[in-house]
Structure formats: C-alpha cells, structure tokens
Structure 1
Amino acid sequence: MSEKITKRQQAVLSAIEDCIREKGYGPTVREVCQALGLSSPSTVHVHLRALEEKGFIKRDPLKSRSIALTYPLDFDEESVVNVDEPNFEKVISVPLVGDVAAGTPILAQENITDTLLLPTDIVGDAPSFMLSVHGESMIEAGINDGDFVVVKEQPVANNGDIVVALIDDGATVKTYYREADHIRLQPENSTMEPILTTNCSICGKVVAVFRRL
C-alpha cells in the first residue's frame, strides 16, 4: 500500500486498530471522536472519507459499526505517514445551493443540491451556504463562470461588499452599493451595466471562492 496519509489520519487509523484489537469489531464515529478527544464528528468524517479513498478502510453506510481495515493488523502504517497538513481542527457543514427560482427563499429545501464539509480556518464558522456562479459578470473580481462562492448568511451589507442578492429574476452575485434612492448591484465586468433596484433582498456576503482545476 503506497498511499501516504497525514498524521491526523494515522491517529484515526490507530484508534480503529485499537478498537478492533480490544473488541473484535470496528468503532463508531463517536467512539473515534472520544478516542481522539475531538468534539466534532464532522472532523472524523473528513478523515474517514480520506482513509477510505486511499484504500486503508472500508465502510457500509447502512451500519454504524461498519468501519473495517483493508489490511492485516500487523501492517505498519508508519511507513506511509509522511505528509504534513493544515491544522483543520473544525469543519462546518455548508449547503450547496443550485439554481434559485424567483420568489423562493435561497435556502428552501428544493434549492439545496448537496452539503459539503469545509474547514472553518478558511470559511469561518458563521452560518453559510455555497452557490455556483454562472456567467462572467464578476470576472474582474476574480470570480469566474463555474466557480463556487461561500456566502456568509446576513441580511445587510456595506458598500463594496460582494453579495448574493435576490431580485426578480432569482439570485445574483454582485458588488453592493446603497445610493440615494436605490441599490446598485454592480457587475465586476467593464462590459456590463449595473442593476439598479429598489426591491432586492440580501442573502449574504461572499467570503471565499472555490474553483475546479
């Protein structure tokens, strides 16, 4: 087995091994949390997923005690632990929002297509959601077609904030400006005109951008 694992993944693997040696079967996620002194099951889920993808464990999603090793207990996993990792102690569960129909709340159940675990070191721990960006209206702010923005939920914004706003046609990502008798939603693309409106709802402020390579 040649895949490398991180020190934290090794700690999870060792906790699984210890449970199997002691009890004859694998631990639950909560038991792994307790063994490692962690308070968040989400953190353990991230490491278990990585270990499963690298071929060290296998799981049955329909069973709580389904964590099993794919190698004999005398296997020396120390030989494959060489990788440093960021200190992502905590993660947050963030809903991924698909296309938003006009007139529906952005986090309505029918708009949520998936849920992702993201490290709070990057996105913070405030309630947030992710949205896929369509179009090129924000390219001069470094937000491209197909990118995913992480949006901190908040109903207000300051001038210059990049926000997700609900207008008549649905959700849009723009730079926010409150002016004399209207709100200007400014595209960051010099070829496009701003949206001037007196009727929009601020869903939140963009705090991070993720991009597929």
Structure 2
Amino acid sequence: MRSMSTKASAGPVTGRDRRAGGGTNNMTETRLTPRQQQILKFIDQQIGNRGYPPSVREIGEAVGLTSPSTVHSHLATLQDRGFIRRDPSKPRALEVCLDPLTGAAVERGAVRHVPLVGDVAAGTGVMAEMNVEESLPLPAEFTGDGELFMLRVRGDSMVDAGILDGDHVVARVQPTADRGDLVVAGIDDEEATVKSFDRDGDVVILNPANGAHEPIHRPSSEVRIYGRVVTVLRRI
C-alpha cells in the first residue's frame, strides 16, 4: 500500500516532477495577470501536495474570488494560453502544462480518473451511480491497474496504520481479501469501513489500528468486501 503525503515539507509525491525544456525567464509574469498567476500556482501546488487538482470552489477560496463564473473565466484564459489543460466532462480534470515559474513544458506520467464515493449503503455496489460524488485524476504509478474507487475516511480507528480522519483511501475493487489486507468493507446496514482483514473459520474479523477500538467479528455472510486499499492520500 502506498501513502501519498500532502505535507509540503515532504515534497510532491506525484508522477509529474519532471520538467521538459529549460530556461529561467518567468513567462507567466508577462503573459498572465497577477490573479491568473496566483490561480496557476495554487493549482500546481495542490496537485503536487495532494496528487489531484483543487475544485473551482477551492480555487476561489484560495485567491479570494466568490463567483465560480469568474474562476471559470480565469481557467479558460489559462487554457487558451496553454498553461493548463481541462476535460469538460470531468470538473476536476485540471492539468498544468507549463511550469508556473519558468514557463517550461511539464512532462506528466499517465493519469487515472478515480471515482470518489460517498457513503456506501449496504446491499449496493460501491460503484453504484448513487454513491459516486465526483472523479479525481491521480498518477497511475500510485494506483496500479484494475477498477478503482476512492473513499473519505471518517474517525480515528486506523491512526496506527497512518490513516487519519479526513484522509482518502484508494481501493481496488475486489470481493475477497487475504489476511492482513487493508480493506473497505460493508457490515449489515452500516456505512463502509476501512479495517485490516482477518478471519477465523467462517467468522470475518475486521481489526482497527487503534487500541481504543475493538475488533469487529461477524459471520462472513454479513460482511461484504468492496475492495483492497492500495493508496492513502493524506489530507492537508
């Protein structure tokens, strides 16, 4: 399982650190307004720190713009001038094409769009349309192959495994697990939970990584494995 930290001191952990070309002239200073420079730098910083781009709302809050249409206007200008690339079918699909400081082209690795799911109701598939909130682009080198989904973590039951309240986990869709796997599982009518998988005969044991929480014991017929955790995205 990989962990992608968003702490700036740790440096960007993405597949986009290689810069093509050279030069030290600050092209953005002459081609963009101060507000557009601010937006471009914020997008680049957020992709570097979190592994995925910010939303329009987050961009507006960061640069002091309350109107989403104004943010969209600045993004359109950045796209027209070649600084970013957008996919109109995916709101979060923002890609920085030119370095905000030097104007040099940015080389990127492959990107996968991973659906962020909300509360997973018992009896539904984790990828059911009702569960998907949005799709986020992530570096493929940190996700691997297979069908993936992302889930926001609630609570402190996995802190000793380095998974904190508010983090996001990326999981590969699969209905089974091996002992010791970190899984996203559904129990009865409860929401999906992230735990370490174990079993004793026909009893599934979902172990927390926090001594303040007790393991969950359930007959295997009452537990549904949605997927195995492959990456943790640290919240800021």
| TM-score class, shorter | 0.5 to 0.7
**In 2: Cα distance, 1:186 partner to 1:178 partner:** 10
The change in CA–CA distance for 1:53 and 1:141 in structure 2 (over 3 A counts) is farther
**In 1: Cα distance, 2:110 partner to 2:150 partner:** 18
1:143 pairs with 156, 159, 163, which one? Answer: 163
Aligned positions, number = 155
The structure with the larger Rg is 1
* Structure 2 residue 152 is the aligned partner of structure 1 residue 132: yes
Q: Which residue of 2 aligns with 1:96?
A: 116
Unaligned 5+ runs, structure 1: 11-45, 47-51, 63-76
**In 1: Cα distance, 2:76 partner to 2:196 partner:** 41
Counterparts of 1:87-126 in structure 2 under 5 Å?
Answer: 88-126=108-146
Contact 2:207/2:215 (<8 A) preserved: yes
Contact 2:153/2:164 (<8 A) preserved: yes
* Structure 2 residue 207 is the aligned partner of structure 1 residue 186: yes
- Once superposed, which parts of structure 1, at least 4 consecutive aligned residues long, lie more than 3 Å away? 5-10, 52-56, 58-62
TM-score by length of 2: 0.57
**In 1: Cα distance, 2:144 partner to 2:86 partner:** 31
**In 2: Cα distance, 1:155 partner to 1:128 partner:** 13
Contact 1:92/1:125 (<8 A) preserved: no
Contact 1:6/1:82 (<8 A) preserved: no
Q: Which residue of 2 aligns with 1:38?
A: none
* Structure 2 residue 191 is the aligned partner of structure 1 residue 170: yes
Aligned-residue RMSD, C-alpha:
3.5
- 1:127 CA displacement: 1.1
TM-score by length of 1: 0.63
* Structure 2 residue 229 is the aligned partner of structure 1 residue 209: no
The amino acid across from 2:174 in the alignment is Q
The change in CA–CA distance for 1:7 and 1:164 in structure 2 (over 3 A counts) is same
